[in-house]
Structure 1
């Protein structure tokens, strides 16, 4: 290989140093899930987290490893007698990594990180607020509307 070829190869490898796809171990991330109802944490709530890369299950409060992806992570939590709630956590591209990647790779690293999801991350702690369930009365026990006669 010529001297110029070695210089070009070394510069290319150095330039790809800002690319998260090449510098990070994986495109996975650990997130912690909590469920809250009326300002109190509720334990034992089953949650399904999903994005285009897959689906993961956790009992809140708990931690789970999810695959990073540029689009939102959907968190669907439910428990009998407590209720159900669905939230979305947006993926964010770290501004420092974005600038470094664009400057060092001329945009190639950004394209690779966007495709693989490696340049994106979800918030490390996800809190799902479950609205309080309204008790539904049995129609057989509900009084008929009208005047009461004693």
Structure 2
């Protein structure tokens, strides 16, 4: 009977040793995002947007798609169109679900559940919302050359 326990213990030790040598393939360090800009309940086209996080900066003309590098830091979206309006919004990175079917099966088979650790310094294990809707503020009216001065002011 002790020989059966010994063989079982050796088999378990061998499984643990082998799984420590194998690593699961890493997820892509980039993510494709779709950016839309809204002003007054309507989509505005031709708006230039700069997206930035700790990993870099990217430019897109909304509506459009852009590929960004994942990071644990928030993604800042600055959009503007001359004469139309501007916006600044922040999208937080959220953890990708551990319970995605592909990741769960691969995690159990390849690393025996040890893939739960996420490096805090890179973008692995996090993602941004795939569609970003930016709400713009209308541009302030500009004082033109045809505007008359305020009453009571004398202009020489």
TM-score w.r.t. length of structure 1: 0.74
For residues 13-53 of structure 1, give each alpha carbon's deviation from its aligned partner in whole angstroms, at most 9, with x where no partner exists.
Answer: 56x54xxxx332x2100000001100000000011101010
- Partner of 1:11, secondary structure, is helix
Structure 1 residue 12, shift from structure 2 partner = 1.8
Structure 1 residue 124, shift from structure 2 partner = 0.4
Q: How many residue pairs were aligned?
A: 134
CA distance in 1, matches of 2:12, 2:98: 31
Q: Give yes or no for contact 2:86–2:138 (8 Å, CA) kept in 1.
A: no
1:135 equivalenced with 2:144 (yes/no): no
Aligned to 1:40: 42
Q: Over aligned residues, Cα RMSD in angstroms?
A: 2.9
Counterpart selection for 1:12 from 16, 20, 34? 20
TM-score w.r.t. length of structure 2: 0.72
Question: Bigger radius of gyration, 1 or 2?
Answer: 2
Structure 1 residue 10, shift from structure 2 partner = 1.9
Q: Give yes or no for contact 1:68–1:121 (8 Å, CA) kept in 2.
A: yes
- Partner of 2:80, secondary structure, is strand
Aligned to 1:74: 76
CA distance in 2, matches of 1:47, 1:142: 35
CA distance in 1, matches of 2:118, 2:96: 14
User: Structure 2: which 5+ residue stretches go unaligned?
Assistant: 1-10
